[in-house]
């Protein structure tokens, strides 16, 4: 096996179900220390993170990623045990193969190769690694970024190793992400007997027109980089379980995925205006997971596009589709941020897998990016 595959298998074999790290970061730091990196473990509550840097000058190019994986579900459903990596018909199977231990292995080997070729490279190379990406993400990347910001240590360019590719490795680079704004709405009514509705107030009935208006509202038109903002209700609950009781409250959970055309504050104001127009009595709790961000064409995007073309001969697509990533914590510092990783078809699934050859290709891409930026 190639060095990248060997390291990927070693990482996959460690049971790092979020927020556990299971020794993945220690292994990575050992490899980095051997090529001149200064490692700084950063533990916040139950979460292990580390910051590692080689060089003191700018520009700083950072690789970011996570060692934690999502739970496997019933292991009996897996064709191959999730923490016993195997290569079958050219595919590497195991939990985290695609999301994102394969990327972590590619990062380490690419850095090792680059440092051997350019021991006196320009600028700095850094890694920001957490074990809290698949979980609440309260004590991971966001806390490391806060630590760096407090001492004015700035990331100039960041490559997040999330699985960005669709059908061929490198066919898509995520150069931005939509914002995510969640909310929990409690609509208040008056509980009563269904036979005496005049003595009660059904929150489901009074809220329905408002919810319909929210669902049909045109929030924006999007722009050349982002689709239009989306409002989606993910859960509605009311009632006592009895068929003859009008509920006293209704709980609605909803989410906005929004573009750079809007801010979270604007969405909050417009939502509350619609609820108030329908004269609802309610409580509303907001939760902002991240503002939208965009990295336009420039040094980082151009280096990625050129490296992918040199390694594969293919052009790549710039995209902002999909969910959120830890890039949302890094971009607000002013850093250019992109996501580049393997094919995402099997992430979080039973029998998660990635092409073994793709991980070697990804290693070459990462190395090529470093050569263009710091060589």
Options 21, 133, 291, 326, the catalytic residue: 133
CA–CA separation, 308 and 293 (whole Å): 23
Torsion of CA 71, 73, 75, 77, to 10 degrees: -140
List, in order, residues 6 or more apart from 75 with CB less than 8 Å away. 81, 82
CA–CA separation, 350 and 72 (whole Å): 7
Given phi > 0 = left and psi -120 to 50 = alpha, else beta, which region is 313? Answer: left
Reply yes or no on whether 30 is catalytic.
Answer: no
Buried residues in 281-299 as b, exposed as e (16+ CB within 10 A): ebeeebebebbbbbbeeee
CA–CA separation, 373 and 59 (whole Å): 8
- What's phi and psi for 293, nearest 5 deg? -140, 155
- What's phi and psi for 8, nearest 5 deg? -60, -45
Cβ of 121: how many Cβ atoms within 10 Å? 19
List, in order, residues 6 or more apart from 153 with CB less than 8 Å away. none
- What's phi and psi for 19, nearest 5 deg? -100, 20
CA–CA separation, 223 and 258 (whole Å): 11
DSSP H or E stretch at residue 63 = strand 60-66
CA–CA separation, 375 and 363 (whole Å): 16
Reply yes or no on whether 68 is catalytic.
Answer: yes
Options 20, 48, 68, 132, the catalytic residue: 68
Nearest 5°: the CA angle 200, 203, 205 is 95
Bond into 7 cis (ω within 30): no
Rounded to the nearest 5 percent, the helix, strand and coil shares of the chain are 35, 30, 40
Catalytic site residues? 68, 133
């Amino acid at each position: 096996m190639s060095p990248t595959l060997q390291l990927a298998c070693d990482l996959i074999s460690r049971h790092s179900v979020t927020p556990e790290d299971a020794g993945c970061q220690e292994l990575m730091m050992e490899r980095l220390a051997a090529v001149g990196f200064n490692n700084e473990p950063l533990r916040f509550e139950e979460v292990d993170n580390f910051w590692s840097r080689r060089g003191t000058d700018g520009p700083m190019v950072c690789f970011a990623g996570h060692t934690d994986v999502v739970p496997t579900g019933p292991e009996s459903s897996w064709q191959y045990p999730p923490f016993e990596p195997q290569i079958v018909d050219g595919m590497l199977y195991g939990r985290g193969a695609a999301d994102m231990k394969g990327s972590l292995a590619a990062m380490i080997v690419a850095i090792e190769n680059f440092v051997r070729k350019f021991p006196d490279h320009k600028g700095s190379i850094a890694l920001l690694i957490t074990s809290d990406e698949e979980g609440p993400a309260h004590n991971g990347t966001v806390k490391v970024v806060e630590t760096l910001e407090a001492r004015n240590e700035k990331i100039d360019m960041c490559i997040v190793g999330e699985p960005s590719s669709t059908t061929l490795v490198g066919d898509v680079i995520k150069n931005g992400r939509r914002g995510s704004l969640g909310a929990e709405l409690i609509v208040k009514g008056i509980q009563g007997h269904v036979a005496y509705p005049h003595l009660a107030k059904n929150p489901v009935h009074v809220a329905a027109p408002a919810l319909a208006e929210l669902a049909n509202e045109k929030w924006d038109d999007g722009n050349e980089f982002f689709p239009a903002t989306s409002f989606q209700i993910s859960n509605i609950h009311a009632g006592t379980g009895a068929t003859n009781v009008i509920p006293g409250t209704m709980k609605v959970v909803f989410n906005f995925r929004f573009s750079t055309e809007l801010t979270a504050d604007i969405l909050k104001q417009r939502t509350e205006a619609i609820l108030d127009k329908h004269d609802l009595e309610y409580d509303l709790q907001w939760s902002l997971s991240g503002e939208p961000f965009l990295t336009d064409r420039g040094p980082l995007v151009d280096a990625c596009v050129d490296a992918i073309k040199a390694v594969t001969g293919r052009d790549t697509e710039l995209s902002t589709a999909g969910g959120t990533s830890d890039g949302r914590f890094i971009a607000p510092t002013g850093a250019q941020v992109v996501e580049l990783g393997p094919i995402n078809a099997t992430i979080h699934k039973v029998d998660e897998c990635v092409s073994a050859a793709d991980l070697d290709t990804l290693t070459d891409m990462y190395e090529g990016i470093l050569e263009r930026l710091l060589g």
